[in-house]
């Protein structure tokens, strides 16, 4: 695929990650943002920092490719990889919470819900997974020989 599609994809994913990370920080500082509960933003500073870093890597890659520097594609690949990596960590955390709630629930504790455990790290990892599925061969083996 050409680099223009990668640039657009990296810029869009980077914007989503940066916006989600910023909302995490705003929520942590100012409290609940009415109407945004549907995005499952928790105000967790660590998650916000991770989201901002992934967004910065993706946006840097998109910017570098748009200026003609081909090392920007590497930034986009690394951003997608980080997205999937931290999404897997969030998924493991969700599964661990489910196991704990199932086997070690105490008396009077509220029921665990998978919907409550969803976070932007988890659902935005789908963008990274889509990107790695599309360009994974190039990510792991390098660009095709011409």
* Residues ≥6 apart with Cβ < 8 Å to 64: 71, 72, 75
In this structure, is residue 145 part of a structural domain?
no
The residue written with tokens 């929520």 in the block is 27
Query: What is the extent of the structural domain holding 18?
Result: 3-103+112-136
Residue 113 tokens read as 């819900």
Q: Can you give the pLDDT at residue 101? A: 78
Cα–Cα distance for residue pair 96/135, rounded to 1 Å? 31
Residue 50 lies in a domain: yes
Determine, yes or no, domain membership for 146: no
Residue 42 forms part of a structural domain: yes
pTM: 0.84
Q: How far apart are CA 79 and CA 71, in angstroms?
A: 13
Under 8 Å CB-to-CB from 52, ≥6 apart: which residues? 17, 18, 21, 22, 25
Run means of pLDDT, 10 residues per run, the chain, 146 residues: 83 95 87 70 84 96 89 91 94 86 72 74 90 80 63
Residue 121 and residue 86 in contact, taking contact as beta carbons nearer than 8 Å = yes
What's residue 63's pLDDT? 94
Q: Is residue 142 part of a domain?
A: no
Residue 46 near residue 35, CB atoms below 8 Å: no
Residue 55 pLDDT:
96
Total domain count, the chain: 1
Q: Is residue 141 part of a domain?
A: no
Place of tokens 């967790």: 44
Taking only the tens place, the pLDDT of each residue in 70-96 is 888 889 999 999 999 999 999 998 888
């Amino acid at each position: 695929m050409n680099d223009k599609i990668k640039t657009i994809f990296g810029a869009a994913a980077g914007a989503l990650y940066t916006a989600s990370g910023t909302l995490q920080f705003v929520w942590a500082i100012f409290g609940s943002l009415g109407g945004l509960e549907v995005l499952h933003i928790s105000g967790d500073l660590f998650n916000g920092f991770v989201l901002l870093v992934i967004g910065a890597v993706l946006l840097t890659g998109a910017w570098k490719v748009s200026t003609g520097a081909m090392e920007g594609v590497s930034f986009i690949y690394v951003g997608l990889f980080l997205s999937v990596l931290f999404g897997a960590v969030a998924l493991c955390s969700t599964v661990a919470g489910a196991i704990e709630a199932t086997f070690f629930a105490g008396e009077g504790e509220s029921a665990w819900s998978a919907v409550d455990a969803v976070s932007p790290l988890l659902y935005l990892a789908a963008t990274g997974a889509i990107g790695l599925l599309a360009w994974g061969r190039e990510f792991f083996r390098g660009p095709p020989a011409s």
